[in-house]
Amino acid sequence: MTTHEVDVAVVGAGTAGCYAAATVARAGYEVCVVERKSESETGHIACGDALKGADAFPDAIPKSHIEPAFTNTAVDHGRFEIPQEDAVLDIPVPGELAVVDRWEYGKLLVEAAERAGATIHYDTVVQDVVQETDSGGTTGTGTGSNADANGSAGRVTGLRAVRDGEPVAYDCAVVIDGAGALSVLQDEADLSGATFDTNVDYSQFSSAYREVIEVDSPVEWDDALVLKPTERAAGYLWYFPRTPTEINAGLGFQMSEQPMQLVEGLKRDLRNRPEFRNAEVTDKLGAALPTRRPYDSAVAPGFVAAGDSAGHVNPTTGGGIAGAAYAGTYAGEAAVGAIEAGDVGEAALWEYNERVMDHFGGRYAALDVYNVFVGASGLDDLMGLLAALPAEKLSEALYSGSASVGWLLKLRTAVRSFGHWRTLFDLYETKRHADRLLDHYEDYPEHPEEFTGWQAQRDGLMDVIYATTGAEHKY
């Protein structure tokens, strides 16, 4: 078996993985990115292709390097179609917005990581996570519980994989998990002795399918991200224009719901839209994505998770590129700091959790409260209410996790939403509780020893939210 000794091993050459690898390499440390796909297929993933806030991305991979993948920078708002109310709601989107060619963007990310000094190993499938035991040895069982009779599993020290059909090992100080939603690394590692969030279930994720479609004539909404609910409250359709004639069209649903025929559901809607008559499908792909709150903790001794593998996605919009870029950068910086301090334990990596929660994690957790609310509300009543709400306040809530609502606006909204007052009252109550939750995340603990108490208080706030919405517990 070939063994590669590196300072940091990164699994996954996506946004989080490439930003992490570039950060570590720029600091002068040896880093290898382990990617299961071939070089030609790397970057080819199912994605909505919408990228928000690229003007403020981390410097580890400069915006100038990924900008050639931006195909439409004219988009500036969301267009929310509500068939039940025969309504269309234009929702402003704050900050810079672009639609990208995701495959090209992925290739540019890898190129930038290599330029920074990272090594990329393609065609490499991770099969196990190697960990120390309390007895001082190492174990890597591939069973999802890396402990043996000699002691419980501890610090992660590397990986075992198959590369081009041959077994290969990676020995390292830190493993960064950028392997995506429902990461296999977290199935193979024993993280039960750490604060690392293991309260993860498939029902907290969405299944999605998308096609890239060429149309004969430019669409009228080439400056908008079009969203539309499916017949189920937990389902959604999207139409994002890469160009006026090249559209990313997709459909997703929450895995907590009964299975949905994604391909047929999308094609049925496409058939009913005249702008897609005679359209040609040029690419198709499916995936899973987290529509849950960020992991409470994404660190364990020698191990850090970033991006989709730690729930770093806006749970109401599915947008995950910006969160992954920052999480990858923070993970790389945390790994470098721990290595330089000679301590890669949980406490040494803890600042990573704090930075994520302070930057976007708390906001995403507050936004997840609205997912809980939607899951418990009737579709027709909810769509009627959304059609009555002020677009600017919906935008504020979708992207900030909260929205200020004065008494005059409450009165105007109440008049417009006649017939949906019960749902409106529940929504305002949910907003109030989401604000309290956001405040709690702003007090995220500074040390692992304070973590259990913080979690208990957060869970108490969530109990009130479940009671208010009538929703089943999500976590």
**What is the C-alpha separation between 174 and 32, in angstroms, rounded?**
11
Are the C-beta atoms of 88 and 224 separated by less than 8 Å? Answer: no
Q: Supply φ then ψ for residue 169, to 5 degrees.
A: -125, 155
Determine the pLDDT at residue 401: 55
Q: Which residues of the chain have pLDDT under 50?
A: 141-145, 147-151, 381-382, 384-385, 387-388, 393-395, 398, 405, 407-421
Which two structure tokens, joined as six digits, stand for 96? Answer: 């810079």
The whole-angstrom separation of Cα 366 and Cα 398 is: 10
| Number of neighbouring beta carbons within 10 Å of residue 145 | 16
Taking alpha carbons only, the member of 160, 162, 168, 205 closest to residue 185 is 160
Tokens 């000699």 belong to: 150
Please, where in the chain does CATH 3.30.9.10 lie? 203-290
Q: According to the model, what pLDDT value does residue 402 have?
A: 55
Residue count (the chain): 475
The reported pLDDT for the residue numbered 114 is: 98
Res 424: pLDDT = 58
Give 83-138 pLDDT, tens digit per residue.
877 778 888 887 788 999 999 999 999 999 999 999 999 999 999 999 997 656 66
Q: Are 75 and 98 in contact (CB under 8 A)?
A: yes
pLDDT, residue 409, reads 42
At residue 430's C-alpha, the angle toward residues 426 and 435, to 5°, is: 150
CA distance 455 to 445: 10
Q: What is the pLDDT of residue 110?
A: 98
Superfamily designation of domain 203-290: D-Amino Acid Oxidase, subunit A, domain 2 (3.30.9.10)
| Predicted pLDDT of residue 418 | 39
Please, is 248 exposed, middle or buried when counting C-beta atoms within 10 Å of its C-beta (0-12, 13-18, 19+)? buried
pLDDT score recorded for residue 109: 97
User: For residue 276, what are the CA distances in angstroms to 72, 130, 246?
Assistant: 19, 50, 11
